[in-house]
């Protein structure tokens, strides 16, 4: 590297004959990003529009110089970048640049590539922690000018205008505009030497420099021209005639002084690379071409080859230069156009691919080749570093910045992120290069003796986190984790908000939902052919289970660093699959953004009334005891009612009742269905059993168990949502599962009443009405259903009316009930068998209903047949937003299994599309509430329902916002041909809000 070759004192000082060009990297990047169409991509689908633009601009500048004039060539040249968001200015004024929006999602991964590009062109690439690019530019410009050299700043940033002087010029090459004293005067109304004074008064809304209220550029220039500088003005502010202006200058004098500090560029940055080292390097053609080939910039590659005389063919694209995205082998493994799915489309999308690109690699091949090459590198869990010094930790963070990405994993004392304590964390920057940072390991043996102190040699937790925080929050470093929601939630409790990020679990889920689990161990075996050290081997299980803080450091390092290493490798393999499988949009809109949304919902939790639950448990126990006595009396003996086996023996053996069905293990079935049938025949015992079971369920699963989930610190219940657990895209909830809180029976709703709002707040429940049937009406394009939804009709009554020809008014409730069961059946991939069971009718009769239904709604049958064809042909089906649900075994020869997968495949697009809509609403919800200055907090999701906690006074204003976001969740990606309807209510408890 150029920087490394330089020494502090080997280069001669600059002279009047020298010319230093300083390029403001940020200006280049943002111009390149916005000037070029976002489609410009290299063959594997990585957004590289900004990299491409940057390379072209840099190349043009290197070739053509600043102006057409001769003799303007630089002797010294560097591109200067911002290192990270936080600088010394934030210490002076925390709000500085605080409200600056995040850079676009697809630009973030390009920051690192652009630095690579700069080096590939043998150009000095300068950045320094704690300083903005502007400060480095200012310091270099001053130093060079002091030596007598000429300096040209290439930038469009007005903040740099204060540097303009006799020796220092500024030019915006992209706009072909030269800034001299005249231009500065035009912009600020003063010369370059007074720019700072004017800026400190006028402030800057973009950078959040406050200035003095009521004073803009015009007034500021007027005042400075009159008084000379800020201090003089402030000292004589009392003499100003205009009342408001005088008062503001006096009141906000200190704010103006702070502003002056903020806008004043540092001229004395202790630069790591001396200005004398910034001499122009001879371009290394092969190096530049290697990079450009990696990027797939064919036109520029050829141009550089022509100019430098390097041999285009002999230079290989750089392997691993840009892990995550690079082209592993540019020459071999070519794919004929159209051979791989989306091949031609991919070639078209890759805008920079020049003519003759039939042989260009398509994403599919890139991803496959990547998987092979990563798999070939063995995992060695004995080769990892244990980090025990802050210096080494800083070096790891620097390595992450250099790369632009880092795999990250935490080790803690609990699987529950709300209760876990951080024990250590691991990082990985390359396959095989990983470390573990132990922070809170204790001596496990001594614990028994009452000792158990911290093991010596570990970094102090706070100091280590201070080093890590800037990197973990650095927008130019992509953090890669497996199941990030856990780490995000944990780290948020330590004041760190991780971002930007990728999640390998979600990547796997996005491309492979339905193909198996998405846990790290399973993914490692699937993709790397490597079995990671099992957690059990480190911490034991069952009674011998120890927490991770008791694990000795060497074992902890092997286990933890391996996790980060494996995560990084999985990312290197799975990320390219997004492009290969055309799933990038699903991942970026429906998966990745859910992580912080769910983490915050889990962190908030919900209040439950412990006393109410305790009373309920007592009531249920009493009811059960009464029933138990009656049951034993009727049975003529005592037995365990909770044992289906014993119950079966009593009912069908001893009492000789007609046992209908058996379970698949051959035992008597004692399901409600069977017991209800017996009850209908006049037997007393079965209905008592059903009642007992209901109470037993309510007691054990809810009233007894829920209080145990109350977090002692927050006093609330924090469920955990699984993002990658279902085949269809639904979430699941566990520990406790808050998606199956009873609602159907009066007794059950007492449980729901125990979910309450905080004092001064209400719970709002907002649920979609018939979302799945609406989605079906849209997808299968059913005119009658669409019209019914448009007209706000009772959809089940309408279905009954269509099927049986009876008018909706005065309809027999039983007729409607049948239609309702059919509607649900349709969503579930109807079968005569299932419908017969549901309605208690014969299979023949059920078959007739289905036949009639399909005659009335032929579009539904078409949809079902089409879906079956698709799943057999592709092995997966898709939702309206492109999510895939795989059914790899649908082509089995077992007719029952085959029919089961077909029904699941019919259901998945319906259930999954509804789930997608919910996700879209959730991703947008928080921002929309905040934008409306509302304090509603989203707490729970129950498939078609969202629950919020809202201050009493805001209920009226909040409901319309929630409804609007939910009802318009498809916008702007998709126009649903059916309206979505959301019902919302507020109350003090969940039961009444629902």
CB of 587 to DNA, least distance (A): 19
**What contacts 26, CB < 8 A, 6 or more positions away?**
81, 82, 133, 157
CB of 703 to DNA, least distance (A): 11
Q: Which of 735, 889, 971, 983 binds DNA (CB under 7 A)?
A: 735
| Stretch touching DNA by CB under 7 A, among 181-189, 262-270, 395-403, 901-909 | 901-909
Q: Which of 61, 550, 692, 2 is nearest to 281 (CA)?
A: 2
Contact 572, 328 (CB under 8 A): no
Of residues 591 through 610, those in contact with DNA by CB under 7 A are none
CB of 821 to DNA, least distance (A): 4
Q: Which of 480, 942, 946, 978 binds DNA (CB under 7 A)?
A: 942
CB of 722 to DNA, least distance (A): 5
| Stretch touching DNA by CB under 7 A, among 160-168, 240-248, 729-737, 971-979 | 729-737
Residue closer to DNA (CB basis): 89 or 994: 994
Q: Which of 282, 533, 563 is nearest to 428 (CA)?
A: 563
**What contacts 530, CB < 8 A, 6 or more positions away?**
378, 379, 524, 566
Distance (Å, rounded) from C-alpha 11 to C-alpha 191? 34
CB of 554 to DNA, least distance (A): 25
Distance (Å, rounded) from C-alpha 50 to C-alpha 40? 9
Q: Which of 63, 281, 837, 927 binds DNA (CB under 7 A)?
A: 837
357 phi/psi in degrees, rounded to 5 = -100, 25
Distance (Å, rounded) from C-alpha 815 to C-alpha 610? 43
Residue closer to DNA (CB basis): 292 or 871: 871
Q: Which of 750, 746, 914, 907 is nearest to 825 (CA)?
A: 907
Binding mask 574-593 for DNA (x = CB under 7 A): --------------------
CB of 418 to DNA, least distance (A): 14
How do beta strands 884-886 and 876-878 pair?
antiparallel
Residue closer to DNA (CB basis): 452 or 748: 748
Residue closer to DNA (CB basis): 261 or 845: 845
Residue closer to DNA (CB basis): 413 or 646: 646
Residue closer to DNA (CB basis): 279 or 721: 721
Binding mask 608-647 for DNA (x = CB under 7 A): --------------------------------x-xxxxx-
CB of 518 to DNA, least distance (A): 12
CB of 918 to DNA, least distance (A): 9
| Stretch touching DNA by CB under 7 A, among 101-109, 133-141, 181-189, 939-947 | 939-947
Q: Which of 776, 835, 922, 978 binds DNA (CB under 7 A)?
A: 835
Tell me: does residue 831 bind DNA (CB under 7 A): yes
Of residues 644 through 673, those in contact with DNA by CB under 7 A are 644-646, 663-665, 667, 669-672
Residue closer to DNA (CB basis): 213 or 847: 847
**What contacts 22, CB < 8 A, 6 or more positions away?**
78, 80, 137, 140, 141, 151, 152, 153, 154
Contact 672, 840 (CB under 8 A): no
CB of 648 to DNA, least distance (A): 7
Residue closer to DNA (CB basis): 51 or 918: 918
Q: How far is CA 986 from CA 469, 551, 818, 939, 994, in A?
A: 40, 49, 32, 14, 8
Tell me: does residue 748 bind DNA (CB under 7 A): yes
Residue closer to DNA (CB basis): 17 or 544: 544
Residue closer to DNA (CB basis): 240 or 698: 698
CA 487 to chain CA centroid, nearest Å: 13
Of residues 770 through 829, those in contact with DNA by CB under 7 A are 821-822, 824-825, 828-829
Residue closer to DNA (CB basis): 823 or 937: 823
CB of 582 to DNA, least distance (A): 23
CB of 992 to DNA, least distance (A): 14
In the numeric block, the tokens 């550029």 are attached to: 217
Cis before 736? omega within 30? yes
Residue closer to DNA (CB basis): 518 or 958: 518
Tell me: does residue 834 bind DNA (CB under 7 A): yes
CB of 940 to DNA, least distance (A): 11
CA 46 to chain CA centroid, nearest Å: 17
Q: Which of 712, 700, 713, 717 is nearest to 754 (CA)?
A: 717
CA 464 to chain CA centroid, nearest Å: 25
Paired with 64 in beta bridges are none
Residue closer to DNA (CB basis): 654 or 697: 697
Query: In what order do the strands lie in the sheet containing 168-172?
Result: 124-126, 76-80, 19-24, 150-154, 168-172, 177-179
Report the first-to-last Cα separation within the chain, whole angstroms.
64
For DNA (CB under 7 A), the number of binding residues is 71
Helix (H) or strand (E) holding 950: strand 945-951
3-state secondary structure of 449: coil
Distance (Å, rounded) from C-alpha 874 to C-alpha 883? 14
Helix (H) or strand (E) holding 722: strand 720-722
CA 149 to chain CA centroid, nearest Å: 49
Residue closer to DNA (CB basis): 47 or 742: 742
The radius of gyration of the chain from alpha carbons, rounded to an integer in Å, stands at 34
Binding mask 945-974 for DNA (x = CB under 7 A): x-----------------------------
Residue closer to DNA (CB basis): 546 or 553: 546
Distance (Å, rounded) from C-alpha 14 to C-alpha 141? 12
The DSSP secondary structure of 848-862, one letter per residue, reads HHHHHHHHH-HHHHH
CB of 125 to DNA, least distance (A): 48
Q: How far is CA 504 from CA 326, 591, 734, 871, in A?
A: 18, 11, 21, 26
CA angle 568, 574, 576 (to 5 degrees): 110
CB of 419 to DNA, least distance (A): 15
Of residues 682 through 721, those in contact with DNA by CB under 7 A are 690, 693-694, 696-698, 700-701, 704-705
Of residues 506 through 565, those in contact with DNA by CB under 7 A are 541-543
Residue closer to DNA (CB basis): 314 or 665: 665
Residue closer to DNA (CB basis): 576 or 742: 742
**What contacts 282, CB < 8 A, 6 or more positions away?**
122
CB of 695 to DNA, least distance (A): 9
Of residues 104 through 133, those in contact with DNA by CB under 7 A are none
CB of 970 to DNA, least distance (A): 18
Tell me: does residue 740 bind DNA (CB under 7 A): yes
Q: Which of 461, 725, 870, 987 binds DNA (CB under 7 A)?
A: 725
Q: Give the CB-side neighbour count of residue 953, counting CA atoms within 13 A.
A: 3
**Neighbour tally for 356: CB within 10 Å:** 8
Residue closer to DNA (CB basis): 154 or 835: 835
Tell me: does residue 744 bind DNA (CB under 7 A): yes
**What contacts 588, CB < 8 A, 6 or more positions away?**
105
Q: Which of 242, 414, 745, 927 binds DNA (CB under 7 A)?
A: 745
Contact 530, 523 (CB under 8 A): no
642 exposure class (CB count in 10 Å sphere: 0-12, 13-18, 19+)? exposed
Tell me: does residue 7 bind DNA (CB under 7 A): no
């Amino acid at each position: 590297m150029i920087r490394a070759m330089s020494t502090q004192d080997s280069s001669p000082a600059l002279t009047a004959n020298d010319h230093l060009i300083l390029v403001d990297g940020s200006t280049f990047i943002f111009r390149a990003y916005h000037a070029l169409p976002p489609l410009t991509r290299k063959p594997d689908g990585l957004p590289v529009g900004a990299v491409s633009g940057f390379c072209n601009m840099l190349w043009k500048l290197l070739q053509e110089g600043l102006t057409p004039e001769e003799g303007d060539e630089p002797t010294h040249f560097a591109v200067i970048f911002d290192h990270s968001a936080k600088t010394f200015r934030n210490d002076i004024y925390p709000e500085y640049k605080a409200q600056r929006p995040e850079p676009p999602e697809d630009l973030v991964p390009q920051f690192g590539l652009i630095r690579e590009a700069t080096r590939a062109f043998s150009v000095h690439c300068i950045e320094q922690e704690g300083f903005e690019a502007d400060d480095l530019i200012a310091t270099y410009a001053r130093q060079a000018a002091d030596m007598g050299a000429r300096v040209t700043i290439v930038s469009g940033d007005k903040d740099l205008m204060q540097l303009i002087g006799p020796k220092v010029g500024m030019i915006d090459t992209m706009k072909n505009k030269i800034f001299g004293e005249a231009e500065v005067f035009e912009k600020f109304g003063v010369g370059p030497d007074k720019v700072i004074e004017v800026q400190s008064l006028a402030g800057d809304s973009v950078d959040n420099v406050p200035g003095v209220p009521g004073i803009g550029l015009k007034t500021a220039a007027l005042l400075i021209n009159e008084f000379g500088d800020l201090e003089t003005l402030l000292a004589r502010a009392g003499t100003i005639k205009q009342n408001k202006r005088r008062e503001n200058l006096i009141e906000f004098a200190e704010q103006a002084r702070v502003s002056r500090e903020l806008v004043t560029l540092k001229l004395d940055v202790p630069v790591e690379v001396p200005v004398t080292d910034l001499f122009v390097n001879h371009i290394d053609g092969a190096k530049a071409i290697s990079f450009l080939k990696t990027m797939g910039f064919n036109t520029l590659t050829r141009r550089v080859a022509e100019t430098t005389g390097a041999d285009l063919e002999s230079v290989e694209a750089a392997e691993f230069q840009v892990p995550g995205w690079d082209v592993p082998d540019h020459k071999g493994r070519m794919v004929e156009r159209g051979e791989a799915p989306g091949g031609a489309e991919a070639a078209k999308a890759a805008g920079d691919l020049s003519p003759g690109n039939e042989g260009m690699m398509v994403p599919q091949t890139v991803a496959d080749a990547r998987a092979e090459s990563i798999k070939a590198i063995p995992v060695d869990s004995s080769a990892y570093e244990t980090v025990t010094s802050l210096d080494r930790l800083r070096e790891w963070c620097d390595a992450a910045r250099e790369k632009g990405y880092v795999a990250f994993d935490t080790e803690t004392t609990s699987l529950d992120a709300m209760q876990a304590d951080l024990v250590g964390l691991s990082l990985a920057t390359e396959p095989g290069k990983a470390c573990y940072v132990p922070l809170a390991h204790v001596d496990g043996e001594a614990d028994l003796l009452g000792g158990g102190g911290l093991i010596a040699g570990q970094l102090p937790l706070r100091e280590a986190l201070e080093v890590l925080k800037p990197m973990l929050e650095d927008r130019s470093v992509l953090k890669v984790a497996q199941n990030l929601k856990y780490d995000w939630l944990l780290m948020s409790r330590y004041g760190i908000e991780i971002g930007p990020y990728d999640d390998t679990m979600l990547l796997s889920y996005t491309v492979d939902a339905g193909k198996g689990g998405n846990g790290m161990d399973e993914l490692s075996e699937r993709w790397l052919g490597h079995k990671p050290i099992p957690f059990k081997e480190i911490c034991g299980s069952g009674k011998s289970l120890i927490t991770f803080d008791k694990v000795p450091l060497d074992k902890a390092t092997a286990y933890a660093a391996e996790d980060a290493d494996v995560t990084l490798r999985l990312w290197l393999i799975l990320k390219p699959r997004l492009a290969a499988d055309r799933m990038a949009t699903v991942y970026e809109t429906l998966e990745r953004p859910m992580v912080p949304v769910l983490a915050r919902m889990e962190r908030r939790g919900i209040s439950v009334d412990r006393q109410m639950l305790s009373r309920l448990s007592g009531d249920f126990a009493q009811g059960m005891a009464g029933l138990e006595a009656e049951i034993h009396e009727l049975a003529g003996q005592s037995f365990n009612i909770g044992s289906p086996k014993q119950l079966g023996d009593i009912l069908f053996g001893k009492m000789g009742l007609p046992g209908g069905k058996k379970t698949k293990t051959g035992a008597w079935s004692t399901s409600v269905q069977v017991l209800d049938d017996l009850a209908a025949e006049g037997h007393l015992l079965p209905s008592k059993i059903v009642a007992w079971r209901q109470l037993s369920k309510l007691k054990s699963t809810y009233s007894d168990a829920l209080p145990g989930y109350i977090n002692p610190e927050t006093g609330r219940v924090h469920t955990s949502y699984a993002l990658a657990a279902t085949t269809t895209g639904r979430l699941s909830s566990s520990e406790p599962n808050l998606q199956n809180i009873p609602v159907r029976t009066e007794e059950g709703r007492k449980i729901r009443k125990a979910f309450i709002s905080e004092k001064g707040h209400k719970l709002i429940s907002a649920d979609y009405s018939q979302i799945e049937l609406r989605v079906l009406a849209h997808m299968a394009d059913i005119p009658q259903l669409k019209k019914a939804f448009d007209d706000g009709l009772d959809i089940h009554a309408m279905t009954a009316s269509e099927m049986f020809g009876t008018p909706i008014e005065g309809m027999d409730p039983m007729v409607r009930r049948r239609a309702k069961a059919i509607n649900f059946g349709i969503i579930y991939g109807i079968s005569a068998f299932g419908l017969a069971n549901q309605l208690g009718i014969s299979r023949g009769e059920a078959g007739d209903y289905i036949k009639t239904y399909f005659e009335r709604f032929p579009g539904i049958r078409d949809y079902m047949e089409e879906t079956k064809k698709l799943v057999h042909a592709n092995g997966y089906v898709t939702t309206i937003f492109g999510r895939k649900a795989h059914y790899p075994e649908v082509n089995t020869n077992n007719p029952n299994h085959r029919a089961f997968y077909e029904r699941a495949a019919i259901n998945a697009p319906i259930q999954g599309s509804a789930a997608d809509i919910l996700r879209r609403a959730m991703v947008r919800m928080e921002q929309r509430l905040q934008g409306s200055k509302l304090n509603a907090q989203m707490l729970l999701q129950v498939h078609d329902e969202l629950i919020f906690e809202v201050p009493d006074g805001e209920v009226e204003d909040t409901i319309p916002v929630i409804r609007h976001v939910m009802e318009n969740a498809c916008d702007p990606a998709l126009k649903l041909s059916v309206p979505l309807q959301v019902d919302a209510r507020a109350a003090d408890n969940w039961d009444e809000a629902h």
